[in-house]
Structure 1
Amino acid sequence: MKLKKLGLALLAAGFMAGTAQAADYKLTVPHVSNTDSYNHQSLLVFKNFVENHSNGAIEVEIFPGGQLCGNARECLSGVQSGIFDYFQTTIAELANFWAPAGGFDLPYMLRDDRVAECVYDNEAFLADVRKNVLDATQNVRLMMVSNSGGWRNFATTKKQIKSPADVAGLKIRTVPAPIQQELVKALGGAPTPIAWPEVYTALSTGVVDGTKNGIVDITTMKFEESLKYLVLDGHAYMGGVWVMNNDRFAGFPDELKRVVIDGVAAQNQFLRVYPKWKEFDAYDTFRKAGGTIYTPSAAEKKAFQEATAPVKDFYLASAGDEGKAWLDRFEKEIKACEAKLDADFAAASK
């Protein structure tokens, strides 16, 4: 019996080793969220698709929780240098590598999910962005712009925000990106850049008075233990930018490039659906933890838009001709999508 067990163990070990050796390519994928996060879950979708559809030719190894890099800048630099292969960042943080992307993160530009998805699904637009990011970084390839947890809203620990004046004097956590920091400044707050893995502690110890996140992010990371007020101002679509080391992608034969691109598309479907599906439970969790949610009126939301208008001036002052041209292109893409969706609504409602 012992020999049989030993033989089975050796057989299993040999099979596993053979499976590992069968992979001709390996993708090393870090992220800084926990294993319950939508980013991690979406990577399981990507891993499952790519490994199965490549018949084991590609292995995807995921490293959650900041095991390999502690923040987005470190992880992106790793992708750029070829240490890592695939990573998710935000539009705001992409601007640290290609400045015109900052214009895509200006507040209150995108009216809803359908407009945002229409813009970022335009392959002609995305291909031009991809080329410029590649030119700027040399080795970072844009794979998609998906969603990264819904929409950014102000959430605070001790004070309900209902108007721009309510932000004055509050220390608000932001990503380390000029547009997001300037937004807080425009409202009279004090922007405080803090890496994602450190936000929970910063909120619980009072280092900051609040943050700018979607409700799904808040409850996934258990921020509701400190945050007690949320205003649904929706000042920014949380565009999740997924990038790959270009040398790694270029090294795949064409049939495996298609597998990777299709795997990214499957991952994108998950990422866009997840916040919509999870929001109901997330709002319920927030309320049960003693949280209050405030929905601003149209007039109150307009007041936020007017108060943050100087953020666009801030961006244009340093954007240069290239940044201005890209902002103009982005605004035209938005208008085209709005017109298309309005026409679709008119046709569907007859």
Structure 2
Amino acid sequence: MTKHTYIKGLAAAALFGLSSVAAQAEEVIRAITFVPAQVSFARNFQGFVDLVNERGEGVVQIQVIGGPETIPMARMGDAQKNGIADMFMLPAGLYLNLVPEGEAFAGSNRDPMSLRADGGIDLVNKAFHAKGNAHVLAHVDGGAGFHLWTTKKPGIDENGQIDLSGIRLRSSPLYRAFLEKLGATIVVQAAGEVYTSLERGVVDGTGWPVTGLRDYGWDKFLKYRINPSFFQTDVLVSMNLDSWNGLSDEAKAIVNQAAIDHEKSSYEANVALNVTEGEILAEGGIETIELTGEQRETFLRTAYDIAWERLKGRDATMHDELKAVFFEDF
């Protein structure tokens, strides 16, 4: 071997070694979304992914590996706890059986940025760490609540309140008790099953935010929207706690700051999108039933009381502390 060849060999080996170190240094976070890629929540999450990947080049990257076709929504809380994937874009309401304190997000009437500033994320993470082996990074796509959407016009009871007797509504576990309180017959099913259920008359409506409704095509069947919205959308970006703790300090800083920035930008974008989507749905023929005055207050009071009482019934340990931060009485 000549001296020149030997030096070239050393240089190549050194370059290969540096490349290997660089490749190993870039940490990869495998992410799952609770809705398919075409639904607005998943599209919004992609904005967060792009933000991390841009800022984290050479340090940390997020790779979206699937949605409910990969892990069914009902199993995602357990999947996160067990580390089946590293990061989840997942509503707290889908795994209240593991972390009942997640109820605080839906039961909140404050915006995510104010909650963070007042220590809400740090507070609720005590429960998510201990019970869900999860670390909440951000409450995203805030600024919206759930509406009732029906194919039949609901009645009014003797007290002047909405009466859903005789109406079969698709529900998630999050707002099942509230819809039952209003007299509805409940069908619990995944969002992906609702189109067929509406088409076949298996259900007469559903609870859902304004955003994402058209993505699923449900507007083809729905005729009525009930205002006001109730609860607050509780979509979280969170990580398996072991995966989070395993990140380098530099990677954590990048991901955490991106989560804070996306929490704010997604809130602002969602508020604007709600207006736009609401107008499109109205133009498409969906009639809005607007509750006002005492009727409106009773409707909202019933919803919020159910959320906080449900948390107290499951585990009262943090109820008072969480409600003091997450809820402003009206």
Match 2:130 to one of 125, 132, 135: 135
Query: Alpha-carbon deviation of 1:334?
Result: 4.6
2-structure distance, mates of 1:47, 1:314: 36
For 2:28, the equivalent position in structure 1 comes to: 26
**Closer, same or farther in 2 for the Cα pair 1:301/1:119, shift >3 Å?**
same
- Local SS of the residue matching 2:145: strand
The answer for the alignment partner of 1:96 in structure 2 is 97
> Residue 175 of structure 1 corresponds to which residue in structure 2?
172
Instruction: Specify the alignment match of 1:38 in structure 2.
Output: 40
Indicate the residue corresponding to 1:209 in structure 2. Answer: 204
Residue 229 of structure 1: how far off its partner (Å): 0.5
- Once the two structures are superposed, what CA deviation does each residue of 1:82-106 show, in whole Å capped at 9, x if it has no partner? 2211112223224221123335544
Q: How far apart are 1:290 and its partner, in Å?
A: 1.9
1:152 is the counterpart of 2:146: yes
Q: Aligned in 2, Cα 1:303/1:80: closer, same or farther, shift over 3 Å?
A: closer
Instruction: Give the 5 Å matches for 1:296-307.
Output: 296-305=291-300
The count of aligned residue pairs is 308
SS of structure 1 residue aligned to 2:183: coil
The amino acid of 2:138's aligned partner reads M
1:332 matched to 2:324? The reply is: yes
Note if contact 1:150-1:238 (Cα within 8 Å) is conserved in structure 2: yes
Residue of structure 2 equivalent to 1:126: 121
- Asked if the contact 2:115–2:325 (Cα under 8 Å) also holds between the matched residues in 1, the reply is no
Q: CA deviation at 1:257?
A: 0.7
The equivalent position to 1:224 in structure 2, one of 219, 230, 233, is 219
Which stretch of structure 1 is more off in the superposition, 202-211 or 116-125? 116-125
The separation in 2 between residues aligned to 1:140 and 1:198, in whole angstroms, is: 28
- Cα deviation for residue 330 of structure 1 reads 3.0
1:345: which partner in 2?
none
The TM-score, its normalising length taken from structure 2, stands at 0.82
Distance 2:313 2:155 in 1: 30
Alpha-carbon contact 1:25-1:57 (below 8 Å) kept: yes
Counterpart mapping for 1:161-310 below 5 A:
164-177=161-174, 180-305=175-300
One-letter amino acid matched to 2:80:
V
8 Å CA contact retained: 1:200, 1:223: yes
1:29 partner letter: A
Q: Which residue of 2 aligns with 1:6?
A: none
Separation in 1, partners of 2:322, 2:232 = 14
What is the DSSP-based 3-state SS (H/G/I as helix, E as strand, rest coil) of the residue aligned with 1:150?
A: coil
Larger Rg: 2
Which structure is higher in helix share? Answer: 1
Distance 1:308 1:282, change over 3 A: closer
Structure-2 change in CA distance of 1:252 and 1:123 (3 Å): farther
Q: Which residue of 1 aligns with 2:53?
A: 51
Structure 1 residue ranges without an equivalent (≥5):
1-16, 340-350
CA RMSD of aligned residues (A): 2.9
| 1:52-107 Cα deviation digits (max 9, x unpaired) | 22223323221445231121x3222222222211112223224221123335544x
Match in the other structure for 1:346: none
Secondary structure at the aligned position of 2:178 is classed as: helix
Identify the residue that residue 4 of structure 1 maps to in structure 2.
none
Gaps of 5+ in 2: 1-18
For residues 55 and 177 of structure 2, what CA distance do their matches in structure 1 show? Answer: 45
Same amino acid, percent of matched pairs: 17
The answer for the alignment partner of 2:6 in structure 1 is none
